[in-house]
Amino acid sequence: MAGNGEAPVPVGTKQEQDRKVRRGWQGAARIWEETEQQAKRLRSSEGGGQHRKLPKRKVVLLVAYSGKGYHGMQRNVGSSKFKTIEDDLVSALVRSGCIPENHGEDMRKMSFQRCARTDKGVSAAGQVVSLKVWLIDDLLEKINSHLPSHIRILGLKRVTGGFNSKNKCDARTYFYMLPTFAFAHKDHDAQDETYRLHAETLGRVNRLLACYRGTHNFHNFTSQKGPREPSARRYILDMFCEEPFVREGMEFAVIKVKGQSFMTHQIRKMVGLVVAIVKGYAPESVLERCWGEAKVDVPKAPGLGLVLERVHFEKYNQRFGHDGLHEPLDWAREEAEVTAFKEQHIYPTIIGTERHERSMAQWLSTLPMHDFGATAHAAAGPGAKVPRPLEGSDGDSD
């Protein structure tokens, strides 16, 4: 038969009835599909679709937290065994409505980055994270409403689209808070809460801490680093101990250190070695030996007193901080809130934990076990395959 059309089918035949049934199914399928699409559009508009109309912008958040009870800052995706600060933070971001739920599952989708990955138990008064969010109304209040009181977002600022808080950070400032009886001579009672730090001893502590300033080979102050690895060389801008103060009948002091970056355990070992020298367990000459290739037994102070106080963005501020579009990342307006958070959450946690668990006193009792006179040749050279330490808490990785 000429033409491409179908041959006519007599009305009432089984073939015609089958064709009508198929057409009915197809029509019903089209109706169901259209209805489902309308329902999806309705659900989208009710459940956050309005956010698509809002601009998604790169911002930085000033985060403060008490690290007790957490296994560090960085989220361990797929693992619920060890709770981290970012677990609570990301959950609050999703629940506040400033990021979609799938961004909480895959943090790369919101370009999330932190300045430093603090380790288990380490706190922060000035952590900074960068990410892309919907700029909804009352953003900070909504995020904080879904966070526990020991985690707070204290500030928010717009930054350039390509900003990365880790890569743009010029330096990090940490402080280490410890009871001053840690500096008492080894013949003194290691748990004497009535001990008070003399000006002469404080002067010696600061003279030793000043030896860390400048660029040195810190391979003895971390793990898994060979003495000839270029990355073991780090630049310390300043390190000093402030005047002591008394809290709850016990005297404490704060050691501050500012450096470009830090390796795993570096700050805690820097503090630990100075304590060992001042107490009389190690000679001052051990500091000079630490810069050499020989492996030196350097004790690691407890993690309890370590706090990330501030991160610095000098180069970014010089280029963008006064361009009329962006603010400098100096957090001067938030300083009072940072101080209040430290007084309410960080200092009481350190003091209370020290009084009840006596982590410093217990650690001091282990110092006689260290052999500060012995050295071993560090075999790891430039060609050795040594695992890279994680970036994070002692500035980058405690």
- State both tokens at 68: 């007790």
Q: How far apart are CA 358 and CA 347, in angstroms?
A: 15
Catalytic residue among 87, 88, 119, 396: 119
Q: How far apart are CA 352 and CA 147, in angstroms?
A: 23
174 marked among binding-site residues:
yes
- Residues with Cβ within 8 Å of 364's Cβ and at least 6 positions away in sequence, in order, are 182, 190, 275, 279
Q: How far apart are CA 91 and CA 83, in angstroms?
A: 12
Residue carrying structure tokens 């109706």: 31
- State both tokens at 1: 């038969």
H/E run at residue 60: strand 56-65
CB 262 within 8 A of CB 397: yes
Burial of 237 (0-12, 13-18, 19+ CB in 10 A): middle
- Please say if 330 is a catalytic residue: no
For the chain, give the longest Cα–Cα distance: 115
Q: How far apart are CA 249 and CA 362, in angstroms?
A: 19
Q: How far apart are CA 90 and CA 393, in angstroms?
A: 19
Sign of the CA dihedral running 389, 392, 394, 398: negative
Binding residues for substrate: 174
Residues designated as active site: 119
Binding residues: 174
